[in-house]
Each structure stands twice: as structure tokens, then as C-alpha cells.
Structure 1
Amino acid sequence: MIRVALDAMGGDLGPRIAFDGAVEILSRHQDVIITVYYSPISDLVLPSYHERLFLVACDDVVSGDEEIVLSLFRRRNSTLYQSLSALSQNTAEVVVTLGNTGAMVALARHILGVLRPKLYPALIRELYSNPLRCLVDLGANVHCPPSMLVGFAELGASYVEALGREAPKVGLLNVGVESTKGSVVIKETDRLLSSALWPPYYGYAEGTELFEGDKNVIVCDGMVGNAVLKASEGLLSFLMGRFKSSSTDNSLFEAFYQDERRHGACLVGVRGNLVKGHGCSDFPAMVGAIEYGIDIARADLCSAIEARLCNKPSGQDSEEMK
């Protein structure tokens, strides 16, 4: 059985989306158990009884605009803390949340721990699922030195190997492919990746290579990745809206939107499987985020990434950590 810990309180549309999504998932998957962590509110109508759906009431919620302060780690009865604790206690295989990204990353590091010292967790988003192509990082880390970006490349490569079962081809997002372009951080990261035995590094990638080309792991800092992702999704939504209001056939856009988009991102680098969905997720997006969590739980993604990091070719650790 796949046990999902679902934080119901992070989304903009309230916990009803999480409840409805959980019930839908249970109707599709007979080998899934979902525990929903929620905070009781006056107008909340709980779902009817289901033998594989469990509800845990919590008296605290981490809101989307809260800063990461020391008191966050003492709020053990928040829905986010409780769902992550279930993962750490092996009563769940995956956590799915729509909540505060910074709080999720901080609490995941605190409660679960990291896979390797000096390896910073990162958010990965699949741009395509077949063939697999992903972008890392999406906002878990904003200020990134070269050693951190090298870690992102390793995490992205491990992800592609575990879920795509194909050879990773890493590219470093830059303003151009010429060796003279880029910041000091980007140039040093390029040097480190070029001298590493693993992962396979294919040089700089321009923005046009996000959706096509040979590279299937695109590395950048969280500020750039978040902006790129939201701009791409905004453009897709804009085009969908324009095509729907016209008589033009929009079947191609609908197919891409429904079949190729993964709902949410995966936090990798911590000792557990986590999916972070959009705060504005509607019912289909909520269902998609839970489906994503089930996929990575079935693959035991965390263990697969840890095993790959432990068995990478030697000779690069001391260099990349400078």
C-alpha cells in the first residue's frame, strides 16, 4: 500500500480541494491510503466515511506569507509539521502539500534531514514527462554559490535516471552558450561541472532549450527557475484562453496542458518523498499533485537518488565543495 500524507491547509481554495482530491484518488487507486491533516473551521464539511481515508485534526496552520523564523520549528501541531512527521516516522511514503514553500523546505530539512552534508534540497519540475525533461531549482534556494548548483545538477541527473530510466544530459542555464558569457558564479559552476566525472555535462543552455534539444536536466538558481516556470505557465494559460475564445482548433494546446504537465514540483535532497503543488491549485491540479506523489512513492525516489549519489564516480567531491 502507498500511504500519502496530505496537508490540506496550504491551498488558496481551502481544504475542500484536498478532501475532494483525496476521495477521487482513492476511487482510482485501490492500493493507496490517504491521511489528511487539516484544521477544523466553521464551514468545513468533512468527507463521508471511506475505509482508506483518515482525518487528523490539527490546531495550527502555517500560512502562505509567514517568514521562516525559529518559532516555526516549535509548532509541532501544524498540519505541515504533522504530515512531515508522518514521513519521518515511516507512517507515510510521500507528503503532498500546497502550502508555504519556504516553510516546507525548512521543516523538511529539520524533520527529515538531508541526503548528504552540504547538499541543499532543490525543487524539480518536469517540463516534459515523455521523454523526461526537468528544471532544477524552482525556488527552494535563491542565493546559490557554484557548489550548490553542482549539487542541483547531481540531484536532477539522479531524478532523470530514477524516473526516466535514461541517461541524464545536464545543461546550465545561461544568457548564451558562448564561454565568455555569464556571471562569475555561472562560469565557476561551468568549470566544476566540466571537470566532474558525473553527471554528464553538456555545457550552457539558453532559454530556448528548456522545451527542446538534447539536454534533459536544466540547472539554475531558484530565483531564475521560479521566474522561468511561472512565465512559461502564464504564457500557456494565456494562449489557452485566447484559443478558447476563438474558433481556432486548440486540441494541441489542450493535449499538452492535460497530458504533458506535471502538477507540482518534487523536493529532492531530503530523506523522504515530497510534492509541492501550486497554492492556486484547483481540483484537477490537486488530483495531479497527489498522482505525482504516488508515482514517486512507487519508484521510491528518495532511496533511488540517495543510492545514485553514494555510487557516483569518485574524484570530484573535494573540487566541487570548494
Structure 2
Amino acid sequence: MIRVALDAMGGDLGPRVAFEGAVEVLSRYHDLAITIYYSPSSDLELPLSHERLSFISCSDVIAGDEEIVRSLFRRKNSSLYRSLMSLSQKDSDVVVTLGNTGAMVALARHILGVLRPKLYPALIRELHTNPLRCLVDLGANVHCPPSMLEGFAELGAAYVEVLSDEVPRVGLLNVGVENSKGSSVIRETDRILANKSWPKYLGYAEGTELFRGEKNVIVCDGMVGNAVLKASEGLLSFLMGQLKELGEGASTLFETFYQTERRHGACLVGVRGNLVKGHGCSDLSAMIGAIEYGVDIARADLFSAVEARLCNKAL
């Protein structure tokens, strides 16, 4: 039985999206149980009872725009904190949240711990599923020295090895592929990765290589990764809207790609637990996709498998 801890309080559309998503996913999977962490209110109705659906009421909610301050670690009755504690205490196999990214990363490091000292957790997003390719990092870390980017390459490579039959081939996102291009941080990271026996490093990657090409692990700092991802998603949504105006059949190709080739959300890799972060603006379809993504990584016991690969490569 896969046990999902679902933080219902982080999404822009409120907890009802999480409730409806949980009910729908439970109808699709019979070896799944979901516990929803929520904050009750007078106008909030819980779904009809289900033997594999349970609720835990929390008196605190961490808002999406809150800053990361020391008091965050004392808010032990927030829905995010309690869902992460369930993972730490082995009462769940994966946490899914749409909430504050900074708070999620900080609390995950605090409650779950990291896989290896000085290896910073990173948000990984799948850009394509077959063959698998991913982007690392999406915003868990903004100011990244070369050692941090080196760790992202290792986490991304381990992720690809665990979840696919692909050989990880790392590219470092840069403004060009020439050796003279990039900041001092990028050039030093390039030197470090080029001297490693694992993962396989293919040099700089340009933005045109995000969705196609030989490199299947694209590494960048969180500021760049977040901007790249949201710009790509914004363009896709814009094109779908424009094509719909031309007629129902014109947008079929884009809708098929949008619905079947995209994972909803990103995975925080590098902490001692399985954790999925969905978009704050997720609708019902995206909420369902985020939960199903969590089920997939829980089945693979992703964090344990990544940790084993990192340990083996270090020997």
C-alpha cells in the first residue's frame, strides 16, 4: 500500500482541489491510501467518507508569500510541517504539496535531513518522459557556487538512472557552447564536471537543447531554471490558446503533448524522503497529476535508490 501525505493548504484554488484530486486518484488506484492535512473553515465541506482517505486537521497554514525565518521551524502544527513529519516518522511514503517552495525546501532539510553533507537538495522537473530528460534546479537554490551545481548534476543523473533505462548525459546550461562563454561560476563548474568519471558530462548546453538533443540532464541554478520552465509553460499555454481560436482540431497536437508528456510538478531530490512540489496555481487536472507523480516516485522509493547510487559512485 502506497501512503500519500497530501498538504491541501498550499494551492491558490484552496483545499477543495486537493480533496477532489485525492478522491479521483483513489478511484484509479486500489493499492493507495491518502491522508490529507488541512485547516478547517466554516465553508469547507469534507468529501464523503472513503476507507482509504483520512483527514488530519491543522491549526496553522504557511502562506505562499511568507519569508523563510526562524519562526517557521517552530510552527509544528502547520499542514506542511505535519505532512513532512509523517514522512520522517515513516507514516507516509511521499508528500505532495502545492505550497510555498522556500518553506518546503527549508522544512524538508530540517525535518528529513539531506542525503549527504554539503549536497544541496534540488528541484527536478521532467521535460520529457520517453526518453526521460530533466532540468535541475528549478528554484530550491538561487545563489549556486560550482560545488552546488556539481551536486545537481549528480542528483539529476541518479534520478534518470533510477526512473529510466537511459544513461544520464549531463549538460550545463550556458549562453553558448564555446569554452569562452559563461560566468566564472559556470566555467569552473564546467572544469569540475569535465574531470569527473560520473556522471557522463557533455559540456555546455544552450536553451535550444532543453527539449531535444543528446543531453538528458540539464543543470542550472534555481533562478535560471525557474525562469526557463515558467517561460516554456507560458509559451505552451499561449500557443494552445491561440490555436483554440482557430478551431478545435488545430490544438489537438499541443493538448496531447500537454496532457501526456508533462509531469505535473517537480520532485525535490537530495532529502531523506520522497517529495513532490506542484504549481501553486494547479487546477484539478494538475493536482491529480502531482499526486500520481508522487505515487510513481514512492513505488520506486526514489530517495533510497538515489542515495544508494550516490554512495556507490563515491566508492
Normalised by the size of structure 2, how large is the TM-score? 0.99
Q: Secondary structure at the match of 2:67?
A: coil
1:57 equivalenced with 2:57 (yes/no):
yes
How many residue pairs match? The answer is 314
Q: What residue number does 2:266 align with?
A: 265
CA deviation string 1:234-255 (max 9, x = no partner): 0000000000011362211011
Q: Secondary structure at the match of 2:163?
A: helix
The amino acid that maps onto 1:91 is: D
Q: What residue number does 1:111 align with?
A: 111
CA deviation string 1:214-257 (max 9, x = no partner): 00000000000000000000000000000001136221101100
Q: What residue number does 1:319 align with?
A: none
**CA distance in structure 2 between the aligned counterparts of 1:145 and 1:212, rounded to whole angstroms:** 27
Residue 189 of structure 1 deviates from its aligned partner by: 0.1
Q: Where do 1:295-314 residues align within 5 Å?
A: 295-314=296-315
Q: What residue number does 1:9 align with?
A: 9
- Structure 1 vs Structure 2 CA RMSD: 0.7
Residue 167 of structure 1 deviates from its aligned partner by: 0.5
1:187 equivalenced with 2:187 (yes/no):
yes
Bigger mean CA deviation after superposition, 223-232 or 248-257: 248-257
Residue 313 of structure 1 deviates from its aligned partner by: 5.0
Structure 1: unaligned runs, 5 residues or longer: 315-322
Contact kept in structure 2, 1:101 and 1:276, CA below 8 Å: yes
Q: What residue number does 1:127 align with?
A: 127
Q: Where do 1:241-256 residues align within 5 Å?
A: 241-247=241-247, 249-256=250-257
Q: Where do 1:111-190 residues align within 5 Å?
A: 111-190=111-190
1:226 equivalenced with 2:226 (yes/no):
yes
**CA distance in structure 1 between the aligned counterparts of 2:138 and 2:269, rounded to whole angstroms:** 11
Report the identity percentage: 78
**CA distance in structure 2 between the aligned counterparts of 1:147 and 1:276, rounded to whole angstroms:** 24
CA deviation string 1:117-169 (max 9, x = no partner): 00000000000011101000000000000000000000000000000121000
Normalised by the size of structure 1, how large is the TM-score? 0.97
Q: What residue number does 1:317 align with?
A: none
Q: Where do 1:42-121 residues align within 5 Å?
A: 42-121=42-121
**CA distance in structure 2 between the aligned counterparts of 1:12 and 1:119, rounded to whole angstroms:** 31
**CA distance in structure 1 between the aligned counterparts of 2:42 and 2:199, rounded to whole angstroms:** 52
Bigger mean CA deviation after superposition, 220-229 or 244-253: 244-253
CA deviation string 1:258-296 (max 9, x = no partner): 000100000000000000000000000000000000000
**CA distance in structure 2 between the aligned counterparts of 1:203 and 1:179, rounded to whole angstroms:** 9
**CA distance in structure 1 between the aligned counterparts of 2:80 and 2:273, rounded to whole angstroms:** 14
The amino acid that maps onto 2:16 is: R
**CA distance in structure 2 between the aligned counterparts of 1:313 and 1:224, rounded to whole angstroms:** 28
**CA distance in structure 2 between the aligned counterparts of 1:289 and 1:210, rounded to whole angstroms:** 22
**CA distance in structure 1 between the aligned counterparts of 2:64 and 2:214, rounded to whole angstroms:** 37
**CA distance in structure 2 between the aligned counterparts of 1:127 and 1:206, rounded to whole angstroms:** 15
Q: Secondary structure at the match of 2:13?
A: coil
Q: What residue number does 1:320 align with?
A: none
**CA distance in structure 1 between the aligned counterparts of 2:9 and 2:255, rounded to whole angstroms:** 29
1:291 equivalenced with 2:292 (yes/no):
yes
The amino acid that maps onto 2:144 is: C
